Amino acid sequence: MYLAPLNYDRFFKKIFSDLDIAKRFLEDFLDTKIEMIEMIKNRHAVTDDATYIEFDFRCKIDGAFVIIDMQQWFKADLVQRFYLYHALNTGLQLETLPKRKIVIDAPSQKIKKVKDYRLLEPVYTIVWMVEDTMRFKCEDYVSFIMSPEIVLDFVRNDKLWKTNDIQLIMNEHAQVIKSISNKYKEITFLEKNRLVFLFQKNIVTNKKLEKYVKWFEFAEKTKNKENTRDDFKDFEGDPVFDEMIRRLNQSTLSDEDIQYIHNEHESWEEVRRFEQEFMEKGIEKGMEKGMEKGMEKGMEKGMEKGKIIGEINALTTMLSCPSLPPSVIDELKTKIQTLNDHLAIKDENSNA
């Protein structure tokens, strides 16, 4: 091993503790020039009873607060957890939000100091997904913002899109544009906040001509336990990546770091084995149930055909499992397609 895995939390934090590195990553992903970046503490007690919330990295850049968090694997609470982080990214601004004076009783000119919420700044919460793609197959990332509900209603209106009335569609479109163009009392602040899920697997596969791609290619190469210096030749000469290579170089790792890598690797291998075992048991159970239903339906059409229907039912049931890796999903879909093709051939033969 030449470099430690960037995707492991300890080394991700080690890399992003350098503000020049963090600044460059954000510039490459957001496709902007950042004039100012400031590290902000990443551990907070939010309520009296809450346990500590700790982000992998949090900073302040020009006109926005940013969280970057590394997510190794699928977790059932993933979306809710990062939505909470996203909300906290705004709420934590209360710590430094200045106060302003307002008059609460005109006759007596009684004055009260309150937080000046006009000074709240937008937040970006960036979730770096290592293994999971949340079943997005083509996208490098998906970004969620708050927009008027009329936008989604317009997009999802099947009845509207099936009509041949172009004028009706244009009228509805005009209503949407009018709604999202409303700037009354800075309501557009809402759409400036972004919750983003980045998919490392998709990015290294798609290889788009984007500046951010090399960050994920670099990270992907460090995942290989047998990585060598030759793997990173293309990154040498860039001051930011040179510093990353220096920080992750095996020669700089302590015995504790080496043990941490070993423990993390074993933990994730155990997760993979568990998910594989869970999947196999689920398939087996699904096959049994699917076969029962299929056999019942197939009694009239022949036992062999009933068996095929049972397998299709079982595999279709398995596709609803949220923790399946993308490769397994593709494999299941291929099997279902093959069985459907086989079933169609049998139908043709029986009708001949």
| pLDDT values of the chain reduced to their tens digit, one per residue, 352 residues | 999 999 998 999 999 999 999 999 999 999 999 999 998 877 776 665 556 778 889 999 988 999 999 988 767 788 999 999 899 999 888 888 888 766 565 666 677 777 888 889 999 999 999 988 988 989 999 999 999 999 999 999 999 999 999 999 999 999 999 999 988 888 999 999 999 999 999 999 999 989 999 999 999 999 998 999 999 999 999 999 999 999 999 999 999 999 999 888 887 676 666 666 655 565 566 556 555 555 555 555 556 677 777 778 777 776 766 555 666 677 778 888 888 888 777 677 666 5
CA distances to 19, 120, 325 from 225, rounded to whole Å, are 27, 44, 21
Domain range list for the chain: 9-145+193-253, 147-190, 279-351
Q: In the β-sheet with 37-39, what is the strand arrangement from edge to edge? A: 37-39, 57-61, 64-71, 123-129, 194-199, 141-144
Q: How would you class 197 by CB atoms within 10 Å of its CB: exposed for 0-12, middle for 13-18, buried for 19 or more?
A: buried
pTM: 0.74
Residue type (1 letter), 185: K
Tokens of 22: 């963090």
Tokens of 351: 């009708």
Alpha helices (runs of H) in the chain, residue ranges in sequence order:
9-16, 19-30, 78-91, 149-156, 158-161, 166-180, 200-206, 213-223, 239-248, 255-298, 303-318, 326-351
Which residues partner with 199 through β-bridges? Answer: 129
Residue type (1 letter), 203: I
Residue type (1 letter), 168: L
How large is the angle between the packed helices 239-248 and 213-223, nearest 10 degrees? 20
Give the per-residue pLDDT at 122.
94
Rounded distance, CA 338 to CA 322, Å? Answer: 23
